[in-house]
Amino acid sequence: MSNTSGPPPPMPSLPWRFTSSMIMGLTGSLSRGFLYGLNRIEVIGLDRFLETLDKRQDIDGREKGLITGSSRREGYSDHTDECN
């Protein structure tokens, strides 16, 4: 069975493009809502860290490197890691 309707159009139709744009916008909005609405960011010692950064603006006066760290707590457990 061959398709005799011809080649596909060079550009999708206006309703197709509109719907595609709406779906992408909705997906982005939902993702942003979950990211910023359901996460709680907690910074401990921010004032001291910013003071340290301000003191280090003079590149030639630095004596030591600056090491930063992050501690991430997960709200769920992935049991597939325990099986391997």
45-58 residue pLDDT tens = 889 888 888 888 87
pTM: 0.40
5-58 residue pLDDT tens = 788 778 889 999 999 999 999 999 999 998 888 877 777 788 988 888 888 887
pLDDT above 70: residue 62: yes
CA distance 67 to 43: 16
CA distance 69 to 75: 20
Residue 19 three-state SS? helix
pLDDT above 80: residue 61: no
What's residue 25's pLDDT? Answer: 96
